[in-house]
Structure 1
Amino acid sequence: MQPLLNSHQLKQLTISLQAAFSNAKHPSREDPADLLSLFIAAKQVEGCSPKTLAYYRTTLERMSAAIAKPYAQVTSDDLRSYLNDYGAKNGAGNVTIDNIRRIMSSFFSWLENEDYVIKSPVRRIHRVKCAQVTKEVLTDEQLESLRDGCTCVRDLAMVEMLASTGMRVGELVGLDLADVNLQERECIVTGKGNKQRPVYFDARTKLRLTEYLALRQDDSPALFVSLKGKPKRMTVGNVETRIRELGRVTNAGHVHPHKFRRTLATRAIDKGMPIEQVQKLLGHAKIDTTMRYAMVDQNNVKTSHRKYLE
């Protein structure tokens, strides 16, 4: 039939024949909830975190309920109207709307690849333009204030580790004692998608970790543990709360673990580290993500202009 049908018609013919000969119901008419569960399972196999999977499911369930059509009948206009209505009703900004668009794109692309729909309706919906907001990084003075504000060796070691490695807070709390090599000043973290990578820390961090570990008398495998009661592995919430409190009591402003990561990326680029190496250091899959993290120092731009263009 290839000489007579185009690619889309061939795909539809394939689906119909498979359904007819297998005595199964047509895939495009399967229960939307079943298709959504299959998609979530596929993303789980790809290594998405439980938090990401929950966000995907909630977003797509909300979309499905609002449009109330079989996925094979959903059009680009349906999705545009949904995004527009969602933004108006919830006061959502462009960043949120584009996140929803990306999730819908991933879902309908999967439906297309699995032959549940002929063509993804999201193909015609372009990326939503978002304003570039310059995000703050920690100054040298703020970092010193945070260090001075630490009332225990554990917190000081935690601040030094975040500042010198730029690791994610989830990677920090996931660290075990066995993951850390003090002699080589490096550790192995497990990032997004369960991908492992080495990160490196400086001599000051090594000293603080050594002091902290010398005080440990428990048998927990975790690197950072709670101080009250039976030692337990710290959670992301525990670290965020402690860092936020440090920022408040030291007048360092609004401080959160991710700010250390952005600060490291910015300083690395300012000091001339190749962007590809910064990307590896931070564990980014795409270099565009690294560029969004790093806020280039305007003084360096001025110096480079005088060096190269005057």
Structure 2
Amino acid sequence: MATEIDIASSNTQIPVVNRKRRLCTIIKTSVALLIIAAGLTPTIIRLTRKTNTTTETMMNTTISFTTTTVPTDMTSLITKENNPTTSVSLATLSSTTSSTTSSTTSTTTTVTISTTKPFVLQTFQRTNEVVYGIWNTALGGDSSRSSPGDKTGTYWPSQAPDAALDGNLSSEYCNHGFCNASGPLQDGCGIQTGFYITFKSKPFILVKFRIATSKNSGSRDPTQITIEGSNIEESDLIFGKSWIKIYNGASGLATKDPGRQKYGNNQTITNNSLSFTSYRILITSKRGREYCVAYSEFEMTGRFPD
């Protein structure tokens, strides 16, 4: 039966050969372990580096997304290129959404409210302005002065052109034109007659007008007229080139006879922003056969430039 010897507690001397053998065994074992350890170390280092690289990439992705500034709302930023990746945590997304909401609520909207001063319309009231009666005058043509009388090219002496701008429906302006007071009655009598006037005030923008009938026959009522404006010196208003057309149309009396010494419908000057110191009115047709055109008032309403 073999005897078990306790080397640590025994004082028995181990031969030198056995000692050398044990020492060699220990050295070989240690070398083997070192070789194994040396082979495993690169693998561990590689794994650690790869893991660190992955971690850094993930961190970069997260940081890149969370630091993006959202100028408007989140909906406009959801595109193919900038959709959030699955690596973004819910906390990060929540933080981004909160940042977006904060940015949106801090946006200031400026509303500009502009007010336009309403136009104040005034009816022209003649004072001492001279009203010139004319006949044989066409739109854009030179003016032919008319004088008092009962012949061709005259107006009835008691029915002068200034009666059309005196504000009195009892007075009237009657011009014979190509006819005379003794007849015969014709459709063309009084056509291409009218008047022009220069305001003493500053230039006036004509917005609308209306004509009042005379006390006599309705056949004398003007039904079509033209209106021209000018800023030329009064002495040159005889020339057609001095005038600019601003209206060519109905007088406001054509549709229905309003009765004697009554105003017809208001007629508006469309899109007129031009101001003039002088105006010329011409009659281009009347209601029926008579030896003159007659009307008691030509009312001009407008405004002065700002």
The reply to whether TM is greater than 0.5 is no
More strand by percentage: 2
Q: What TM-score do the two structures reach when normalised by structure 1?
A: 0.19
The structure number with the bigger radius of gyration is 2
RCO (CA 8 Å, sep 6+): is it higher in 1 or 2?
A: 2
Q: What TM-score do the two structures reach when normalised by structure 2?
A: 0.19
More helix by percentage: 1
